[in-house]
Structure 1
Amino acid sequence: MTEQQRAEEGTGREPEESKPPVVTEDTVEALVRSQLAKALGGKRGMVEAAIPTLTFTISYIVSSELRLSIGLGVAAAVLLGVLRLVQRSSVQYVVTSLFGIGIAAIFAMRSGNAADAFLPGIIYNAVYAVVLSLSVLVRWPAIGLMIGPFIGNKEDFSSWRENPAVVTLASKLTWLLVLPCVIRVLVQYPLWAADTYGWADTFALLGLSKIAMGWPLQVAAFAAMVWVLARGRTPLEQGQGQGSPAAAQD
């Protein structure tokens, strides 16, 4: 025990190092920003995620050859991966992109319908939206699970839920993650159905919508999160080992 700790015990004060950290809306914003950056991979990761899909879409529009278009899309992802390896940088986002186009290829090759390459993404967004929505409805919002380890008692992972202000804020931020998924499904599913059932040739629109509604919508969702945090000005200060109601600051 250090001299400072002995002195603090003598005065009845809690040692400084045992006090829980103060978490504010700024630190929550930093956490959201960090997690989003990891998910998107920065500007380069965003571009790398779009190139294979764009290559596949343009190739099929030009050639109408499904196998060739899928091959070019996969080749684009592999080329990006090789470039990453040469530069000795992380291939995480390229591998994710390659996995995605691989699943898309399986769907398209099984049916012989190029539009089915976009079906896995539509299904993924629908399921993701449902899971996130359920997390809010059962009062375990997904964003709260992300910031939980930084709030309240670290030995009790659920302690952040004792603070109603934290749960409310986390619920609002989680709904903002649900919104892009819902928009993608509402736009892309009708386009997929129209092309699949021969109502209209919407393949090009489907491909472009997937790219346009990818990271741009995620960035927009993040901007909305920042706006909510800045507008609420709700510091998530906590008591010693217990969540205390957040005090609003105008």
Structure 2
Amino acid sequence: MSSRRPDPAPPGAGPSLGEILGGRGGALDASAAPAAFVAGFGIAQAAGSPSALLWGGGAALGVGVVVCAIRLARGRRPAAGLAGLLGVAVAVLVALYTGRAVDFFLLQIVSNAASALAWSVSIAVRWPLLGLVVGAALGQRTRWRRDPDLLRGYRRASWVWVGQYLLRLAVFIPLYLAGAVYALGIARVALTWPLVMACIALSWPVLRRALPPGHPGLLHPRAASTGEGPPYSGSGHEA
């Protein structure tokens, strides 16, 4: 007899984290402006332009505006698109203020450090950010917190996301200190879309394995005290 534990949240039982978070589109959008900055800066610098930093900043802002417009045209949330454009504008202003192209990536380094800290704290205080994000996307608000199995799963899976921010910092900080603008640009792209996809791919099974056999899945949080939610079937599939 096989000892394999039933899958508590099989693919057919509901959306995966990738489907819920829509990571690919957002990650690709986030890569566009930094790539444009490095390309614009590099081309202008190779041509001997004294305004290479302005060309790089202009390219980043131009691509940022296009990305924001595309997101709005596709019906994405306006706040998310405008926040991304604002981030690009701030990064460009920082680089122009210091006169150093490498400082375009300073905001990204600070953002990753803050994110690693915020996700770690959220796990420690039992309000894992992954649960908040997924719960909001599914319209559950914080009902998942009443389910001790989902709470445990979201806490464990959130550590994967902490890991991605720490990995970026481990790569970005040495390159920033070395003033390696082009290497930072390559690393910024390489550690955005591919890393986000890997993070989603890893955190999904971590979350699923934290759920006991017969748990109805992400779509149906169960309250431990009231028994809220559909009954366990013992098969790991939703009824």
Q: TM-score, normalised by structure 1?
A: 0.69
Contact 1:31 1:147 in 2 (8 A): no
Contact 1:52 1:74 in 2 (8 A): yes
Tell me which residue corresponds to 2:127: 140
In the TM superposition, 1:71-90 aligns within 5 A as: 71-81=58-68, 88-90=73-75
Q: Deviations over 1:131-163 (max 9, x none)?
A: 110111122212233455799xx7xx7664454
Tell me which residue corresponds to 2:185: 207
Secondary structure of the 2:15 match is: helix
More helix by share: 1
Tell me which residue corresponds to 1:98: 85
Contact 2:91 2:105 in 1 (8 A): yes
Tell me which residue corresponds to 1:174: 158
Q: Deviations over 1:152-198 (max 9, x none)?
A: xx7xx766445432222111111111111111111101111111xxx
Tell me which residue corresponds to 1:198: none
Aligned letter for 2:204?
Answer: V
Aligned letter for 1:220?
Answer: A
Higher relative contact order (CA 8 A, sep 6+): 2
Tell me which residue corresponds to 2:170: 186
Q: TM-score, normalised by structure 2?
A: 0.72
Aligned letter for 2:130?
Answer: I
Contact 1:52 1:97 in 2 (8 A): no
Tell me which residue corresponds to 1:228: 206
Tell me which residue corresponds to 2:115: 128
Contact 1:74 1:101 in 2 (8 A): yes
Aligned letter for 1:221?
Answer: C
Partner Cα distance (2:189, 2:137) in 1: 34
Over the aligned positions, Cα root-mean-square deviation in angstroms equals 3.4
Secondary structure of the 2:126 match is: coil
Secondary structure of the 1:241 match is: coil
Aligned letter for 1:167?
Answer: L
Aligned residues: 210
Gap change, CA 1:108 and 1:25, over 3 Å in 2? same
Tell me which residue corresponds to 1:17: none
Cα offset for 1:67? 1.0
Consecutive unaligned residues of structure 2, counting only runs of 5 or more, are 1-7, 46-51, 217-221
Gap change, CA 1:162 and 1:96, over 3 Å in 2? closer
Identity across matched positions, percent: 25
Partner Cα distance (1:212, 1:131) in 2: 23
Q: Deviations over 1:15-72 (max 9, x none)?
A: xxxxxxxxx63589626334420xx4x44x5443322211110221232310121012
Gap change, CA 1:35 and 1:100, over 3 Å in 2? farther
Between Structure 1 and Structure 2, whose CA radius of gyration is higher? 1
Consecutive unaligned residues of structure 1, counting only runs of 5 or more, are 1-23, 196-201
Secondary structure of the 1:25 match is: coil
